[in-house]
Amino acid sequence: MNKRLKDLIFPVVLVVGVAAFALSGRNSATGADYQYAGEPEIVAATFSSAWCSSCKILEPRLSDIIPDFVDQPVKFVKLDFTFGQRADIQEQAEAEGLGEIYPRFKGATGFTLLIDHETGEILDSLTINHSKKAMRAAIAQAVAVASRDAAVAVE
């Protein structure tokens, strides 16, 4: 094999490998298959990256409990900083109503914020210190608080 062909193959293999790595498990903690059909009351925003050791513990736990909230007004969002702080992540955050929160936490990883969709208030955060049971309880509590606040606002 000549040198020119070798010089071409290496970058192609590298790009394909990086792309495969980035896309593997891309939606594992987003709950894309379990999204609530109506307007969410809570946004569970996971700040993540492939290189984050805390994320490797947090995300599988979160993925296991996401199906428990299929009929609840919770939207699970994953902000992936694997390749740094990019404009598309900020655009995603703004589209999800996280425009006020994003600048404070951008680039940090290894946690999930439970945010009241209506007010933008952070109600709780989930970390590797939370068991699955504690995560379920925290999300259920956030939904209860946001639902109560929404009911009071309507009255």
CA–chain centroid gap for 149, Å, is 24
Residue 82 · residue 153 · CB < 8 Å: no
**Percentages (nearest 5) of helix, strand, coil residues in the chain:** 50, 15, 35
Q: Distances from the Cα of 126 to the Cαs of 1, 25, 137, in angstroms?
A: 52, 20, 11
Q: Which CATH number fits domain 26-154: 3.40.30.10, 3.40.50.2300, 3.30.70.3290, 3.40.50.150?
A: 3.40.30.10
Domain limits, the chain: 26-154
Q: What is the pLDDT of residues 48-106, one digit of tens each?
A: 999 999 999 999 999 999 999 998 999 999 999 999 889 999 999 999 999 999 999 99
Secondary structure (3-state) at 79: strand
Q: What is the mean pLDDT of residues 21-49?
A: 67
Give this prediction's pTM: 0.75
The whole-angstrom separation of Cα 9 and Cα 19 is 15
